[in-house]
Amino acid sequence: MTRPLLELTGVARYFDVSPPWLTRTLERRPRITLKAVDGVDFTLARGQTLGLVGESGCGKSTVARLVVGLHAPTHGTIHYDGNLLAGPGAPAGTRALSRLRRGMQMIFQDPYASLNPRWRVRDIVVEPLRALAPQTGEAALTERAAVLLAQVGLAAADGVRYPHQFSGGQRQRISIARALSTSPQLLVCDEPTSALDVSVQAQVLNLMRDLQHRLGLAYVFISHNLAVVHHVADRVGVMYLGRIVELAPARALFAQPRHPYTRMLLDAVPDLAMTGRARTAVAGEVPNPLDPPAGCAFHPRCPLADARCRRERPALRSAGDATVACHAVEEGRG
């Protein structure tokens, strides 16, 4: 079998959100730990797109930051191209990590905030090369900037302008050009179109698909927009309170969702063909992540929950061409 480009095994990230030491001492309060990501497993093949979806606060963006190294995992391992990137035994040297991380870049959600307003576009685009390949000469950097801008549909002359002189869609194209500067194999996209108008979203998504086909890129695509994920993803992982509850090929997941939470998300998408059809909404809200429910975290909102769901946390198990963490699906009740 072909080795996956990216592999996460048991990855968790906990944050200490306790009050200050003096407050805890005087009020005799224990430390408080937020389990933002709590045991995530997935693989990503070369040239493929994995979509991560879920409600706000489910841990999608934390997974993105773990992959690119902005956070270190509390537990678990991350392998990139067969090399251990994070976890026990990972290389500690800056040079070794830089060599590995050169193959991955990140596209952020807000193009208004992710570009330095004081820098010209040319300097923004080639900044990763200045950091990771400092031996590159200025002439080569200028030429590389022109090529990158042309790849994303901008002119070489745009390199002398500043970010405020561009529209939102053009700024996101600049962000994509910057991400491509080191010739990566993997792009981690944290809701890259959510701050854009719908028509501009389509243009950026089409650009990203074209670049994927031409350059063989792999994407981890994070979004709360299921229509966008349906358009771009080969496989989809559905997250809830820091865990993946369903992982399946995109076509199978949208045609036959298995986990009750996935069904709830899809039922929330407006569909003109379902006009007049009654829907069964799943009641409740996302539990407090500082005090998650025992057993299955979704059981307070699940119409299929039973005593086992309230007592025992389900593990991801194969269910056809998908993997699902649900006792009801495992027992045939779903």
Tens of pLDDT, residue by residue over 107-129, are 988 888 889 999 999 999 999 88
What are the sequence ranges of the domains in the chain? 6-103+184-330
- Extended strands (E) in the chain: 6-16, 33-44, 49-53, 75-80, 83-86, 104-107, 186-190, 218-222, 235-240, 243-249, 317-319, 322-324
Residue 254 predicted with pLDDT over 60: yes
Q: What is the mean pLDDT of the chain?
A: 89
CA dist 152 and 58 (Å) reads: 31
Question: What are the backbone angles phi and psi of residue 255, rounded to the nearest 5°?
Answer: -85, -35
Single out the residue of 195, 186, 247, 249 nearest to residue 221, CA to CA. Answer: 186
Ranked by mean pLDDT, the top range of 12-16, 96-100, 165-169, 223-227 is 12-16
Residue 280 predicted with pLDDT over 70: no
Residue 274: its pLDDT value, please?
58
Q: How many Å separate Cα 36 from the centre of its chain?
A: 13
**Average pLDDT in the 57-86 region?**
92
Among 32-36, 90-94, 221-225, the minimum mean pLDDT is found in: 90-94
pTM: 0.90
6-103+184-330 architecture in CATH?
3-Layer(aba) Sandwich (3.40)
Residue 261 CB-half CA count within 13 A: 27
**Which residues are within 8 A (CB) of 200 and not within 5 positions of it... i.e. 6 or more apart?**
167, 168, 169, 193
In the chain, DSSP finds a helix count (H) and a strand count (E) of 12, 12
